[in-house]
Structure 1
């Protein structure tokens, strides 16, 4: 049969990313305990298409991903997937983005009851011709913040709210941080962490913990920047914090991007 995709294109426009997105497959993610967690992944896999080619071979992307859907995946395996992709599609570069929900066990501060916190995560890897694979790890972590200004000016009480920290990090070669450790690092910068399951004694604890640790969104972001600077092996990071304000019809927001100077 005639292969229209291989027909030469005369417009001379190379496309940086072409492939498939919104591919939902089960994937196995390596955990800190050296076991695996099965997740439902939302995947985007693309290659660079030279200007001389009319199209790429979409079916090959699905074939590659399907072969990996029941194998443990981390940065090393993503590099293998990208190398296979550029070879099978004869492409100069490729990119793989995997978004998924990861579950981390949380222990309530007083009752010690255990529950599972769901965290939105991203594994992103890019392979350029004659370059090492560049891997980015991303997490979105919920937290509690309490307003220092509200505490200062009020006769009693202070308004607090739930927020979200979104962080992406890139590591130097040979370094890696587990999802569990990165989430813990982020939670430590908040007025108080989020717990899915709380009894009355736990609720008392977290309310008082937040009250004794008031932070603006700027405070949380700055503390997070300082913590990431001290984390071994991190070469670059982008962080943002968003407070879903309880007394306003808008959010408070802060963002910072930095290449770490060791």
Structure 2
């Protein structure tokens, strides 16, 4: 018998295809993989759901799926702008491709200090990193989903006492041209809210949160507009999408607002 290394195994994927059809995205989807995230406090371990794809030329039958995993397995640097840019470059080189996409979704945990008692606890956020290399240029988008509290200005104005409030999910997707920490976007969202959230609160903290929200009412429209103003002042952000979904406490539906802006096309 021949030794395994002597056996010829044809590379079917690399064979010629006669249909002359380009495939814009081909690769691996929904790969769950451990990662490290760069944060202001240092590197943080997480588990990401990852999609990696490349553009397949019209004359090539298939891509080499195993190479995506090889590239991913060799990625050890914490995720941030430069490391994802390097990962994209390696993927394109290894897959012999000119265009590609990398999409990573993972939880991010930040240690937060309660406003009065000082008790510490973790709060979880959804982090989404999207990178696309097309027509010779990289587009990198950092997205966070931030839970906050919003209190209705109308309810406060028309009521003799009290005002209804609700938990809201703010989503910021910022296209950036240099490294930016996810905490920077989270801070922008929390500062725009009636009040931010904490994982653990004592009674003095609950009093603070209740009164701060009451003193800082925000419509869903206020939330996205205030965040847009902050993003307009960031030189690192060239385009963005902002949305807020307020899970209403007096309705069985949500209030919602969304806006987008490409600062490169604004004069």
- Give the alignment's TM-score, normalised by structure 1: 0.94
Pick the aligned partner of 1:132 from 126, 131, 137.
137
From 60, 82, 93, the counterpart of 1:87? 93
Equivalent residue for 2:103?
A: 97
Cα distance in 2 for partners of 1:160, 1:243 equals 9
2:91, 2:53 → 1: CA distance?
Answer: 9
Give 1:73 shift: 2.5
Q: Alignment partner for residue 58 of structure 1, among 49, 58, 65?
A: 65
Distance (Å, rounded) in 1 between the aligned partners of 2:235 and 2:125: 23
Shift of 1:148: 1.0
Q: How does 1:52-201 map to 2 (within 5 A)?
A: 52-68=59-75, 70-129=76-135, 131-172=136-177, 175-201=178-204
Deviation per residue, 1:48-74 (Å, 9 max, x gap): 011112211111111110111x43222
Unmatched 5+ stretches in structure 1: none
1:72 alignment partner, SS class? coil
- Give the match for residue 260 of structure 2: 257
The structure with the largest alpha-carbon Rg is: 2
1:238 corresponds, among 237, 241, 256, to 241
CA distance in 1, matches of 2:27, 2:61: 13
TM-score, structure 2 normalization? 0.92
Q: Distance in 1 between matches of 2:78 and 2:166?
A: 37
C-alpha separation between the residues in 1 aligned to 2:184 and 2:133?
26
- Counterpart-to-counterpart distance in 2, 1:16 and 1:205: 52
Cα RMSD (Å) = 1.4
SS at match of 1:177: coil
Contact 2:55 2:97 in 1 (8 A): yes
Task: Give the paired residue count.
Answer: 257
The aligned counterpart of 2:46 is 39
Secondary structure of the residue that 1:53 maps to in structure 2?
Answer: coil
Q: After the TM superposition, list the runs of 4 or more consecutive aligned residues in structure 1 that deviate by more than 4 angstroms.
A: none
| Partners of 1:79 and 1:127 within 8 A in 2 | no
| Whole-angstrom CA distance in 2 between matches of 1:229 and 1:160 | 28
Query: Unmatched 5+ residue regions in structure 2?
Result: 1-8
Distance 1:182 1:78 in 2: 18
